[in-house]
Chains A and B, each alone.
Chain A
């Protein structure tokens, strides 16, 4: 079945360093979504990418969708302690007439102040 894989599983950085997480799908995706889950919290939608090669920015966060629409990345510039959390990518899987989101296992980011 469709798989969404993320690397790395864990990333520890010093505050001010950059951070990148990568997401790969076994199939071409119509779109990809990114979510952030703070420790003890729930996933919160960050962004959706739809177009091949699309790049979107949210302040220090840069999201990219690959040309083949099978991979994506999230880059955080100059991390802050508020960036701590687990970042998930998710891609839609249409099966039997219904669509469900398949989530990667996430990249857990810790930031040392």
Chain B
């Protein structure tokens, strides 16, 4: 029973490039959440999605960031024109409708040079 999967685990980008982070939720889970974590910091909520719907994107910067969870395939967090301040660990979590607990993936560590 595979858990939440994220890829890539590590991603290096130069300023101005695009970063695409993928998340496959746990089997049977239809709710996906993205969090950002800076070193020595807590988890900051970014966006909450269900299949083909963005439910809450209040934590996501208005510019350069977008997220989707298509009917088929993984959820994607996309960061355009990355800047050094985007360097962080990005965690995806999933949950089932019935349970409030979050199952986290291993994260993608993004480094912007």
Which of B41, B44, B55 lies in contact with A98, CB distance below 8 A?
B55
Per-position contact with A for B96-109: 1 when CB-CB < 8 Å, else 0?
Answer: 00001111111100
A104 at the interface (CB under 8 A from B): yes
B65 at the interface (CB under 8 A from A): no
A13 at the interface (CB under 8 A from B): no
Which of B42, B55, B56, B100 lies in contact with A33, CB distance below 8 A?
B100
* Beta-carbon contact of B101 and A103 below 8 Å: no
Which of B42, B58, B102 lies in contact with A45, CB distance below 8 A?
B102
A44 at the interface (CB under 8 A from B): yes
Closest to B46 in A: A100
Interface hits, B54-113 → A, CB 8 Å: 55-56, 58-59, 91, 93, 100-107
B43 at the interface (CB under 8 A from A): yes
- Please give the number of chain A residues whose Cβ is less than 8 angstroms from any Cβ of chain B in the complex: 24
Q: CA of A96 to CA of B59 in the docked complex: distance in angstroms?
A: 13
* Beta-carbon contact of B48 and A98 below 8 Å: yes
A41-B106, A44-B104, A103-B43 known; 10 new pairs, CB 8 Å cut-off, are A35-B102, A42-B106, A43-B102, A45-B101, A90-B43, A96-B58, A98-B48, A101-B33, A101-B45, A108-B40
Q: Which 4 A-B pairs have the closest CB atoms?
A: A105-B42, A98-B56, A103-B43, A42-B104
Taking Cβ atoms with an 8 Å cutoff, the residues of A that contact B are 31, 33, 35, 41-45, 48, 88, 90, 92, 95-96, 98-106, 108
Taking Cβ atoms with an 8 Å cutoff, the residues of B that contact A are 33, 35, 40-45, 48, 55-56, 58-59, 91, 93, 100-107
